[in-house]
Amino acid sequence: MSNAPATTAAPPPVEKIRIKVDGRDVEVPKLLPNWQGKLEPTTMLQAVQIAGGEVPHYCYHPKLPVAGNCRMCLIEFGTPMMGPDRKPVLNPDGTPKIARSVLPYEPQTPRGAIACATPISPGMELYPSSPATKQMREAVLESLLINHPLDCPICDQAGECKLQEYSVEHGQANSRFVEPKVHKPKAVDLGPRIVLDDERCILCTRCIRFTRDIAGDDALGIVNRGSYNTIAAWKDGAFDNNYTLNTVDICPVGALTSKDFRFKMRVWFLKETKSVCSSCATGCNITIGSREGTIYRYEPRDNEAVNGPWMCDAGRLNYRWVARADRIHDVYVRGVKSTWETANREIHALLGRAPEGSVAIVAGARQTTEELYLLKKLATRLGALTDSIAREGEPDRLLVSADRNPNSNGARLTGIAFTEMGIQLPKIAEGIAAGTIKTLIVFGEDVTKHGLGADLLARLETLIVSDILPNATTAAAHFLLPGCAHAEKRGTFVNTKGRVQKFMKAVEPPGDARAEWEVLHEWVHQVTGQNGFSTIEGLFNQMAREVPAFAGLEWSKLGDTGVTITI
């Protein structure tokens, strides 16, 4: 992303400002990155965060332009008093006297400032926990709730709603509002993936700013005036770009909901698993929400080096296939349902006696780096030709990569594919046609669509296929092995910029399906006689020691957001 952190150039000395937060001395940088990463005067809100506190806020979002419209972040503050000589006025004990900010015509009443948009100045004192601040928060919440329908029991946001959270923390239990509430449109069809409940909206404009300034699609606005203000698109259904679902994430209340997730599951039941999107080579970091073995949603997970807080709609919604009923559940040997034991025994024997060069391997760049590494080990022992298959699409200016494989670089770095993917496929086809290649191993691709048609496959003595969903190649397999979706196993992908990112297992695979790396680990052991690691940590570390591009890496050092290597 454009706002990726500055690279390794030595950071210039940071100018600091001394202020006080709730009576404690703190030093904060004078300038901090704004939503676009440009340095701007540090705001009160950022300063309080640095001091370890939190200022409740709705409209402020670190990756969106500041709007300052919700007033939730109001805090009481003071500045050093200046004498007529422009010198600070001192207390008897020599400390600077602080003038608390008050209303000019009503000096008993504190005048707050919106912390999200007010820069700090030297000697300033912020009082984010003072009684006056608390009162301001109460008042703001009370006015936000005036027309709010309070339909939390049927609201998808309940459990992750800022309005709920702040009301509990900073609000008051009872409403003093006796007038009828203003009613606004419910269940507005804003776009193909978004439903809007205008009554729940607090008009923070995060959605408007996101789609205008981040997605580049100025599709939303506020219509009408005063208490009738309503978020709207020009036409029902008009809010349609590949990033619309991010507005559901950033909407602080339950106004914007995902048609896909709406009314499906209460969020507090969801198990959260750190993972990576597998729909293109960008590798957006995600959190998988699942319950009892079923995936309910993908959400973006913040990673400054990759996707920031966003992800595309296509990637987010590409999880349904994991639960498809026609998944390959069982091991088949020559069309007959079998077991891993039988299949593996035969495969080990077969590969063990295969003459040099009689085997070829096609491994999809959707397999994990560890799996590709193990396949490469096998290929080296067998003198096998190897390749992957490129998967291309239209890129966009924000996140989506033209490369729709999540691990093309993994395939390249492990030596399974050349820079130009698929360049070996014609040679493999020739080998099969000439009868020199007798065994083909395919992992996760339908090779019949890429020059190795059913007629060629029919000439093979042995076709070993591992896949997730049925296709023409799996139909021709002598050995058919059920594989795992990436959400069902652990591993790493290397994204288009060389970011090595690990992902965790969210759900169990169906039936007899097993993580491919576990199976391959056994094959390598049996065929090459080498001992490998039977844990993903050990396997990754072994790969890092053997493959130069990964030198120095360790599974544990990848952290939650990965490490960038030179590619």
Partner 1 sequence: MSFSVPPTLEAELDELATHYPQKRSASLMFLHAFQEHFGHVPREAVEWTARKLGLQPINVYELVTFYPMFRQQPVGKTHIKVCRTLSCALAGSAELREHFCQKLGLDSHKHTPQTTADGKFTVEFVECLASCGTAPVVMVNDDLLEKVTVTEADRVLASGKK
β-bridge mates for residue 492, sequence order? 502
Interface with ligand FES includes 71 (CB under 6 A)?
A: yes
Binding residues among 18-57 for ligand FES as defined by CB under 6 A:
57
The residue count of the chain comes to: 567
Q: Considering beta carbons, is residue 228 or 263 the nearer one to partner 1?
A: 228
- DSSP characters over 156-218: TTTTS-HHHHHHHHHS-SS----SPPPP---SEEEETTEEE-TTT-----HHHHIIIIIS---
Give rounded-to-5 percent helix, strand, coil for the chain.
25, 25, 50
Q: Considering beta carbons, is residue 76 or 371 the nearer one to ligand FES?
A: 76
Interface with ligand FES includes 202 (CB under 6 A)?
A: no
Q: Is 225 exposed, middle or buried (0-12, 13-18, 19+ CB in 10 A)?
A: exposed
Q: Is 450 exposed, middle or buried (0-12, 13-18, 19+ CB in 10 A)?
A: middle
Smallest gap from Cβ 322 to ligand SF4, in A, equals 14
Q: Considering beta carbons, is residue 213 or 272 the nearer one to ligand FES?
A: 213
The CB density around residue 314, as the number of other CB atoms within 10 Å, is 16
Interface with ligand FES includes 505 (CB under 6 A)?
A: no
How many whole angstroms separate alpha carbon 451 and alpha carbon 63? 46
Smallest gap from Cβ 239 to partner 1, in A, equals 10
Interface with ligand SF4 includes 201 (CB under 6 A)?
A: yes
The residue among 203, 219, 215, 61 whose CA lies nearest residue 140 is 203
Smallest gap from Cβ 3 to ligand SF4, in A, equals 16
Phi-psi map region of 338: left, alpha, beta (phi>0 left; psi -120 to 50 alpha):
beta
Among the listed residues 157, 282, 439, 501, the single contact to ligand SF4 using CB under 6 A: 282
How many whole angstroms separate alpha carbon 560 and alpha carbon 499? 12
Q: Which residues of 493-518 are buried (b: 16+ CB within 10 A; e: fewer)?
A: bbbbbebbbbbbbbbebbeebbbbbb
Pick one of ligand SF4, partner 1, ligand FES, none as the site partner of residue 114 (Cβ within 5 to 8 A by kind): ligand FES
- DSSP characters over 32-97: EE-TTS-EEEPBHHHHHHHTT-----SS--TTS-----S-TTEEEEEEE-B-TTSSB-B-TTSSBP
Phi-psi map region of 342: left, alpha, beta (phi>0 left; psi -120 to 50 alpha):
alpha
Among the listed residues 32, 70, 188, 360, the single contact to ligand FES using CB under 6 A: 70
Interface with ligand SF4 includes 431 (CB under 6 A)?
A: no
Smallest gap from Cβ 250 to ligand SF4, in A, equals 6
Half-sphere CA count of 305, side-chain side, radius 13 A? 15
Interface with ligand FES includes 141 (CB under 6 A)?
A: no
Pick one of ligand SF4, partner 1, ligand FES, none as the site partner of residue 523 (Cβ within 5 to 8 A by kind): none
How many whole angstroms separate alpha carbon 313 and alpha carbon 240? 10
Pick one of partner 1, ligand SF4, ligand FES, none as the site partner of residue 72 (Cβ within 5 to 8 A by kind): ligand FES
Smallest gap from Cβ 178 to partner 1, in A, equals 20
Pick one of partner 1, ligand FES, ligand SF4, none as the site partner of residue 256 (Cβ within 5 to 8 A by kind): ligand SF4
- Tell me which amino acid residue 110 is: P
Among the listed residues 35, 42, 44, 58, the single contact to ligand FES using CB under 6 A: 58
Interface with ligand SF4 includes 462 (CB under 6 A)?
A: no
Binding residues among 283-322 for ligand SF4 as defined by CB under 6 A:
283-284, 307, 311-312, 314-315
Smallest gap from Cβ 212 to ligand SF4, in A, equals 12
Q: Which residue is nearest to ligand SF4 (CB)?
A: 315
8 Å CB contact between 294 and 324 = no
Binding residues among 226-265 for ligand SF4 as defined by CB under 6 A:
231, 251-253, 255-256
**Residue span binding ligand FES (CB under 6 A) among the ranges 66-74, 429-437, 457-465, 559-567:** 66-74
- Can you give the binding site for partner 1, defined by CB under 8 A? 218-225, 232-234, 238
Question: Which structure tokens are listed for 8?
Answer: 């390794």
Each residue 53-92 as x (binds ligand SF4 by CB under 6 A) or -, in order, gives ----------------------------------------
Interface with ligand SF4 includes 400 (CB under 6 A)?
A: yes
Alpha-carbon distances of 83 from 93, 97, 99, 284, rounded to whole Å: 17, 10, 11, 55
Interface with ligand SF4 includes 157 (CB under 6 A)?
A: no
366 phi/psi in degrees, rounded to 5? -105, -5
Smallest gap from Cβ 193 to partner 1, in A, equals 18
Smallest gap from Cβ 223 to partner 1, in A, equals 4
Contact positions toward ligand SF4, by CB under 6 A? 201-207, 231, 251-253, 255-256, 277, 279-280, 282-284, 307, 311-312, 314-315, 399-401
Query: What does the binding site for ligand FES look like in residue numbers (CB under 6 A)?
Result: 57-60, 68-73, 114, 116
